Chain A
Amino acid sequence: SKQEQVPMRKRQLPASFWEEPRLA
């Protein structure tokens, strides 16, 4: 396994990437 992966939280991703939709 890779030892020095940057955690996803520290990457440049849209805010929505961390917001679970609340759709029925």
Chain B
Amino acid sequence: PWQGRSIASSKLRMLEFSAFLEQPQDPETFNKHLFVHIAQSNPTFSDPYLEAVDIRQIYDKFPEKKGGMKELFEKGPPNAFFLVKFWADLSANLQDDSSFFYGVSSQYESSENMIITSSTKVCSFGKQVVEKVETEYARFENGRYVFRIHRSPLCEYMINFIHKLKHLPEKYMMNSVLENFTILQVVTNRDTLETLLCIAYVFEVSTSEHGAQHHIYRLVKD
């Protein structure tokens, strides 16, 4: 049931995704602030399918040259492509941050035992500015293979970016900056180079008192 209703291709399903800040309170406790978060969900056949977005509407927001989104989509499989619109929660107090930990955690599952590679490209005006590549091995749990990228440290570029964004006095200014800030995550089977998931992330600042929010779309080409 999750195919078409969550971030899942026929080979890999994203279970959870979060980018967070941990702030120590005292030696034994810390506060965890979620900038963005996709919580675990268990869609059923009665849930609606994700809305679709024509991938051509966002091509220019991501790398367009060799190995870019267009080429990736042409290679397929088409059911592996998603767009996530995040409303990021920037309400955290970022002062005195020498002991703060900025991290990203994500989890995936598959019916296949494989080694996955996750490439995360931060883009400004559609051009890659920094890339992180991570390799994860499967763990067999409860009848399926689980992949965990646990507490991966946020890069210096992203930490600086969040700080600069926070210093802008108005939300519309932050959203104006975020209009040209995107992230492209491509998860591949390390050995076959098959695309397992391709997720395009775009952002606004949350105005909600309930923290980070998101919408997920299927990327299609009609």
Contacts and interface: CB of A to CB of B under 8 A. Distances in A.
Interface of A: 1-2, 5, 7-8, 11-14, 16-17, 19-24
B208 A22 contact: yes
B206 A20 contact: yes
Chain B: number of interface residues, binned into ranges: 20 to 34
B217 interface: yes
A13 B52 CA distance: 9
B60 A2 contact: yes
B59 to A, nearest CB: 11
Contacts of B213: 20-23
B218 to A, nearest CB: 11
A2 B57 contact: no
B210 A16 contact: no
A21 to B, nearest CB: 4
Interface of B: 51, 53-54, 57-58, 60, 85, 87, 124-126, 179-180, 202, 204, 206-208, 210, 213-215, 217
A16 B23 CA distance: 33
Nearest to B178: A8
B121 to A, nearest CB: 17
A1 B125 CA distance: 6
Contact of A17 (B125, B126, B206, B215): B215
Nearest to A6: B60
B123 to A, nearest CB: 11
Contacts of A19: 215
B179 A8 contact: yes
Nearest to A2: B125
A5 B31 CA distance: 39
Given A1-B180, A21-B213, 13 more contacts: A1-B125, A2-B60, A2-B125, A5-B126, A7-B179, A17-B53, A17-B85, A19-B215, A20-B204, A20-B207, A20-B208, A22-B208, A22-B210
A12 B57 CA distance: 7
B1 to A, nearest CB: 21
A11 B215 contact: no
